[in-house]
Amino acid sequence: MAVRVCSCLLREAGLAQSLLSTGTGSSILSALQDLFSITWLNRSKVEKQLQVISVLQWVLSFLVLGVACSAILMYTFCTDCWLIAVLYFTWLAFDWNTPKKGGRRSQWVRNWAVWRYFRDYFPIQLVKTHNLLTTRNYIFGYHPHGIMGLGAFCNFSTEATEVSKKFPGIRPYLATLAGNFRMPVLREYLMSGGICPVNRDTIDYLLSKNGSGNAIIIVVGGAAESLSSMPGKNAVTLRNRKGFVKLALRHGADLVPTYSFGENEVYKQVIFEEGSWGRWVQKKFQKYIGFAPCIFHGRGLFSSDTWGLVPYSKPITTVVGEPITIPKLEHPTQQDIDLYHAMYMEALVKLFDKHKTKFGLPETEVLEVN
């Protein structure tokens, strides 16, 4: 038996040598290489499409999930499934104040694979410059807002860029419009990522009754800043935004300047001039509803040459600066607020200037502070 096996192996080896010598073997090897190349290309294409889909699902969630779920639940009231809607709204009434206490963060949701595809699409990265103490609380000022604050979401509401590993013992809470938490289903989705309402009650609770190691990320420029978001522009709305400084002083929470290079590059927007009817409408929405509608576009779902809701694939790099130590003052004076606000503005400009050339900006680029 052993002799027969050895004989077969020798014959096969001789056949392989013969094929290689006649050129047939090289053709087979070439075909195999082509097959592997095609497989790799197909896999790469699938990866890219998964990245696009992962980004689109978040954009659609941001824009329409709350309204769509509200409409579906109202419709359900008029069907044989009305009990489902009744049960959900009963739960909603019982759970109404949960977002004000930090919500229900889910590490499982924060670690979903979809967020890694989301990260790789742009790509997005988080840069740490200094350690944060778990014995302190923090307020991060995030700049700029951009159209949707995609860098803020990816870096602080998911674990795609490993925020918990880079800042061990720190619990990030991204603060957004309180109105989002009145929307059924959307509120659960947001809370699972550690997103909370950007209002005084919530921030007071997190900074005074939730222990230490909390980091509240506030997109300081808000809706007003989003109206000036456009590629090639580095501008922040900050000069008259002092409420976050007052909150930091009342709770002794350190301020952390944070700048996201590339946030303004992912969407193109129609900018209405001051005094135009378009800007008038935007400001009215901002005043009475809390957000400003923008006319913007990205690329299409299947092609970067068409318009759509998918953001352009541009790198976003969020740099977390050095904490500014803030004393605890129960009743800070306007002079106190102005002093630390000036310190914060100076620190933000220094952070921008120190890192701008690393992320594609010229040395002459200046951060516009409005």
Residue 8 included in any domain: no
Mean predicted confidence (pLDDT) in 142-162: 97
User: Tell me: the pLDDT tens digits for 39-86?
Assistant: 555 777 889 999 999 999 999 998 999 999 999 999 998 999 999 999
Question: Which amino acid appears at position 160 of this protein?
Answer: A
Per-residue pLDDT band at 31 (split at 50, 70, 90) = low
Residue 38 included in any domain: no
Residue 307 included in any domain: yes
Residue numbers of the domain that contains 180: 47-369
Residue 51 included in any domain: yes
Task: Say what the pTM is.
Answer: 0.85
pLDDT at residue 28, rounded to an integer: 58
Per-residue pLDDT band at 38 (split at 50, 70, 90) = low
Per-residue pLDDT band at 150 (split at 50, 70, 90) = very high
Residue 312 included in any domain: yes
Residue 34 included in any domain: no
Residue 87 included in any domain: yes
pLDDT at residue 280, rounded to an integer: 87
How many domains, in total, are found in the chain? 1
Residue 3 included in any domain: no
